[in-house]
Every structure is written in structure tokens, then in C-alpha cells.
Amino acid sequence: MTTTDAQARRKAALKTPSDLPSNAVKDIEGALNALLADMFALYLKTKNFHWHMSGPHFRDYHLMLDEHGEQIFATTDDIAERVRKLGGTTLRSIGHIARLQRLSDNDADYVTPLDMLAELKEDNQRIAMSLREAHGVCDEHGDIATASLLETWLDEAERRVWFLFESARRAEG
């Protein structure tokens, strides 16, 4: 194998065959890659809060955030693979995630448990909104397979919002 062969392979398009028109692939790819960046940001924030949880409800919150983190992380491979199945390309680096993410990071040295829950609730609500927006893009282009996956992830996001909301209410009462 020559250097020229390797260079040619690196430049080869990653065009998975799809019956969707190229503009549909581009639109869906954009929506899913932004969603994927947000999911990675949410995953890391959820794990950050999981690792730095404290207080009288430590065990309950710690375990809940661990479960949420696992669920969020599980979506990332499915989202990226869906982009590739359609013939698009997906995230390549932490820098790429940072350029696309719409959720804010939280690098504070200390966040109260209730503030953690409230921030994660808001972020999961933003994820739910993004999932609905991506679903609209899929509907516009007749991509029922991606829309179906988005519906499952939307249900999971809404469940996380519910749990975070109720956990914070219990702590206040």
C-alpha cells in the first residue's frame, strides 16, 4: 500500500446509499448532529452532578443521576449511527461537540443539590424541545425511521424531567 492509496482512501466520501434526497440527508444530519452534541453535553453535566452530589438525599440523587447518565449516553451511539445510515457524517471531536452544543456547561466549584436538579430539569426540557424540532425535520422529509427513534428518546427525556421535578419537590417538602 502506498501513501497515495492511503490519502485517496481518506478523501473518499462516506456516502452510505439512501433513498432520501441529498437535501433531506443534509437537513436531518444537521438536526441530529446538534442533538448529539447536546446529548454529550447533557451526559457530561449529569455525570458531573452525579459525582459532586452531596447532602441528605445524596444516595437517591446520586443513583438517579447515574441512571439518567446511562440512558442519555445510550442514545449517543444510536443518533450517530442513524446519521451514518442516512449517508451523513457525524461528530468527530470534543471541539466539534463544543461548536454545535446548545446547552450550557456548568463548571462551578459547588452547586447545591436542588440547583443541580433544577438545571438538569431545564436541560432535559430543552432536549425534549430539540427532539420535537428534529422530528419535524424528519416528518418534512418522510424519514419515519428516525422519527420513530426520536419519539422513544422524547419519552425518555420527558420521564427524566418528571423525575427531576418530583425529586426537587420532595426535597422542598
Angle at 155 (CA atoms; ends 140, 16), nearest 5 degrees: 45
Q: Is residue 149 part of a domain?
A: yes
Q: Is residue 106 part of a domain?
A: yes
pLDDT tens column, 60-86: 999 999 999 999 999 999 999 999 999
The Cα 162–Cα 78 span in angstroms is: 23
Domain count for the chain: 1
Give this prediction's pTM. Answer: 0.89
pLDDT tens column, 94-138: 999 999 999 999 999 999 999 999 999 999 999 999 999 999 999
Range of the domain at 86: 20-172
Q: Is residue 4 part of a domain?
A: no
Helix, strand or coil, per DSSP, at residue 55:
coil
- What CATH number should be reported for the domain holding residue 129? 1.20.1260.10
